[in-house]
Amino acid sequence: MHVRPAHLFSCWAPALVLAATLFPSGAFCQQPSQHQQILQLVEQHAAHFSAISKTIWEYAELGYREEKSSALLRRELEAAGFRVQSPVADEPTAFVATYGQGEPVIGILGEFDALPGLSQAATPDRSPVVADAPGHGCGHNLLGSGAALAAVALKEYMQQNHVAGTLRYYGTPAEEGGDGKVYTLRAGLFRDVDVVLEWHPASENVVSNGGMLAMNSAKFLFHGVAAHAAMAPERGRSALDAVMLMGTGVEFLREHVPSNSRIHYIISNGGAAPNIVPDTAELYLYARNPSLVVLGEVWNRILKIGQGAALMTETTLEVKDVGGTANVLPNDPLAKVAQRNLEEVGGFHYTAEEKHFAEELQKSLPAGGAGDLDSTAVIQPLRKPDPNAAAASTDVGDVSWNVPTIGFETATFVPGVVAHTWQAAASAGMSIGQKGMIVAAKALAATGADLFSDRQLVLDAKSDFQRQLKGRAYVSAIPAGQNPPLNYRSK
């Protein structure tokens, strides 16, 4: 049963008359008293969760191996009064932390995996803590901790105001290439969720309303027959030939796919020695497109090219370790509220010390790459999803095809710094990253509070979600029986 806190203002129609009386300027829909309380709760826990983010930054664990990071967040949420279910979805580091009961069900996504080779001290020059070790170059230490900060504040807010409904924190492992959320979706863990909120570290403050690229990946492993390459080449059936022909086929395909597609590959196994006809060889390929549906069509053609290469060379093809993530669907009603809340929270300024750090760090960026340091105080205007914008891929996309989803990006990285770099890892391990994280937590918590108090907003989000789907079904390229690739980095 959904209960609105009686003493708080909301955008519900019966409250409008009262709110309009008290806030004749018309600003009543910004729910001033409600947000003041929730923002204060975030403030109260901000230092604690900044410290948690630093600890996870130090752990820097790779996808599906985030044992310590996951355990720390589980302990924190449990101590804050959440019921923790763990592990889930055959993923040892995945968990769900729940508070409350009934409708609506609001989920907040948390990630905590690091990237290989990006170990970096919190210094403005390249300085690995441990050479070649993982580091938080995508800022997921902030992502997981900031989402937990929002969840804990929102839980206390619900408790203090007797708000009905269910709040869930999803501990989702292996975002970096492990498709962790696809498996949690398949396990049915999002089935009853009304709206999902998420955020990601970035170098500006902006609502992320859809976008990103749908992406499929697979290893195309060809099996042939080995032979002496000089003495009996006619006995050999070269798996490497198949790999080369598949690559050539893909190059010709490039002309006949929508121009905003991306196809990239490596030869992950090219044989053992030139004088042995390779009996195994492997092409490791990614394909992307802004639309999951268009990507599916391109992917089918790539599979045919693989089959053609096998036919030409009398080898056999095994398509293995299939990965797939969807593009992120926008949700306009949620984006509008998210924008309003992010503007209400506002950005932040650097201290003199942070400014010095940022200026030193920017010296390592390519010419013209340094951004305006004052831009951390700015909230960018709401953008329309641009299918031609440069973008990466995320398993948040799969969630967005199943549940209405909205996200934030905040300026955790020094302006001009892009994710997956040592500069991003450095920013994520110090106060600059933590300040951005707190902005994100406030925006998430305020939006969560709105969703719990405004039934119409949840309904609007759901109808916009149906409109976005336009009758299309969510289809993942990952085969139904495939288990989470728990050792995917060692392959």
- The residue (of 254 and 264) whose beta carbon lies closer to Zn ion is 264
- The residue (of 138 and 310) whose beta carbon lies closer to Zn ion is 138
**185, two tokens:** 């979706």
- Minimum Å gap between C-beta 345 and Zn ion is 21
- The residue (of 171 and 306) whose beta carbon lies closer to Zn ion is 171
- The residue (of 161 and 217) whose beta carbon lies closer to Zn ion is 217
The residue within the footprint of Zn ion, chosen from 89, 122, 138, 424 (CB under 5 A), is 138
- The residue (of 138 and 152) whose beta carbon lies closer to Zn ion is 138
Residues in contact with Zn ion, counted by CB under 5 A, come to a total of 1
- Minimum Å gap between C-beta 219 and Zn ion is 21
- The residue (of 46 and 138) whose beta carbon lies closer to Zn ion is 138
- Minimum Å gap between C-beta 175 and Zn ion is 6
What residues numbered 331-350 form the site for Zn ion, per CB under 5 A?
A: none
What lies within 8 Å, CB to CB, of 345 at 6+ separation is 39, 439, 442, 443, 446
Distance CA 121, CA 422 (A): 9
Kindly indicate which of the ranges 134-142, 287-295, 342-350, 458-466 contains the residues binding Zn ion, using the contact rule CB under 5 A: 134-142
- Minimum Å gap between C-beta 251 and Zn ion is 28
Kindly indicate which of the ranges 133-141, 209-217, 235-243, 370-378 contains the residues binding Zn ion, using the contact rule CB under 5 A: 133-141
- The residue (of 267 and 392) whose beta carbon lies closer to Zn ion is 392
- Name the 3-class secondary structure at 460: helix
Kindly indicate which of the ranges 7-15, 17-25, 94-102, 130-138 contains the residues binding Zn ion, using the contact rule CB under 5 A: 130-138
Kindly indicate which of the ranges 135-143, 181-189, 303-311, 441-449 contains the residues binding Zn ion, using the contact rule CB under 5 A: 135-143
- Minimum Å gap between C-beta 328 and Zn ion is 13
DSSP structural state of residue 190 = T
- Name the 3-class secondary structure at 478: coil
**4, two tokens:** 């609105």
- Which amino acid appears at position 16 of this protein? L
DSSP structural state of residue 192 = T
- Residue pointed to by tokens 């992307």: 288
Per-residue H/E/C for 281-311: EEEEEEEEECCHHHHHHHHHHHHHHHHHHHH
Kindly indicate which of the ranges 131-139, 280-288, 297-305, 440-448 contains the residues binding Zn ion, using the contact rule CB under 5 A: 131-139
- Minimum Å gap between C-beta 415 and Zn ion is 18
In DSSP terms, 196 is beta-bridged to: 107, 405
Strands across the sheet with 280-289, in order? 262-269, 280-289, 214-223, 316-325
- Minimum Å gap between C-beta 388 and Zn ion is 21
Q: Are strands 280-289 and 83-85 parallel, antiparallel or unpaired?
A: unpaired
399 binds Zn ion (CB under 5 A): no
**231, two tokens:** 């003495």
Q: Are strands 105-110 and 165-171 parallel, antiparallel or unpaired?
A: parallel
Residue 99's φ and ψ, nearest 5 degrees, are -130, 140
- Tell me the residue length of the chain: 491
- Minimum Å gap between C-beta 14 and Zn ion is 42
- The residue (of 94 and 138) whose beta carbon lies closer to Zn ion is 138
Distance CA 168, CA 149 (A): 13
Nearest alpha carbon to residue 92 among 172, 24, 20: 172
- The residue (of 77 and 138) whose beta carbon lies closer to Zn ion is 138
Kindly indicate which of the ranges 136-144, 150-158, 247-255, 339-347 contains the residues binding Zn ion, using the contact rule CB under 5 A: 136-144
Nearest alpha carbon to residue 325 among 363, 302, 291: 291
- Minimum Å gap between C-beta 341 and Zn ion is 22
Kindly indicate which of the ranges 1-9, 93-101, 137-145, 262-270 contains the residues binding Zn ion, using the contact rule CB under 5 A: 137-145
Which residues of the shown chain bind Zn ion in the complex (CB under 5 A)?
138
